Amino acid sequence: MLTNHTADVYADLSLTLSEAGTGRPVLVLHGGGGPATVAGLAQHLSRTAHTLTPVLPGWDGTHRPDWLTGVDDLALAHLHLLHDRGLEDVLVVGSSLGGWIAAEMAARDTAGLITGLVLIDAVGVHVPSEPITDVFALDARGLAEHSWHDPDRHYVDPADVPPGQLALRQGNMATMRILAADPYMHDPKLLRRLARVRVPALLLWGQSDRVVTPAYGAAYARAFADGRLEVVPEAGHLPHIEQPEATFALIDAHLRRTSTAPVR
């Protein structure tokens, strides 16, 4: 059963949260495209797990306090959410920007609440040989060309988007600029910290991603103490949308493999 509510993390920050399912807790973090981009993924995971899917502050019209200006703030807020809920053995699944948040959470998780990671075409680190495409410089068509294996199928002309939805998209992009424009889409200190993250990290990458390439993903995976890259054919930046069956199968296996809960 799906429930939608808010969770107070700080006096001036409440997270809008969807919850569904029972079992191992799985935190699902969306990227710049907003919560709709991970809705199908969360729905799938809720069949066998207890999913928590927050709306990142500032996305889809939600409140973002003025002090919340970096991905480190998002990482700590979501760690505090896990702590406040008394959750353990948590798998964190993050897409794109959400993957960056997941990595920052794991690097700061001194309480050991997180026992597994899934990063889907994540940004967040600097790989000199594989620069992250400047999505702020792309028009809608250019973003589609970089993001999808089959851009013609997924491209939506902004002229065809209802005004209210277009305003939400523009607000989401404005929030992402505040959080991730400088330095662009990465934390200069994160890559070296990932060797201290010892929980199993699965990095899933669309073979056709041109925002962050599979080679970028490979470098990201190598930085973890226990990182593994899986490339999904015929998929771009959002393989869980273009190739859901293949992507879900890999995540489901990682969900089972990484749980620390005793077998009953």
| Span 36-93, pLDDT tens digits | 999 999 999 999 999 999 999 999 999 999 999 999 999 999 999 999 999 999 999 9
Half-sphere exposure of 58 (CA within 13 A, CB side): 24
- Between 179 and 264, the more confident residue is 179
Q: Which residues on neighbouring strands pair with residue 55, listed in sequence order? A: 16
**Residue 242: pLDDT above 80?**
yes
Q: What is the pLDDT of residues 158-215, one digit of tens each?
A: 999 999 999 999 999 999 999 999 999 999 999 999 999 999 999 999 999 999 999 9
CA 155/CA 220 separation, integer angstroms? 28
Identify the pLDDT of residue 167: 94
Is pLDDT at 238 greater than 80 in this prediction? yes
Domains annotated on the chain, with CATH? 63-115+127-242+256-260 (3.40.50.1820)
pTM above 0.85, yes or no: yes
Q: How far is CA 179 from CA 47, 89, 186, 188, in A?
A: 33, 28, 10, 14
Indicate if the pLDDT at residue 224 is higher than 70.
Answer: yes
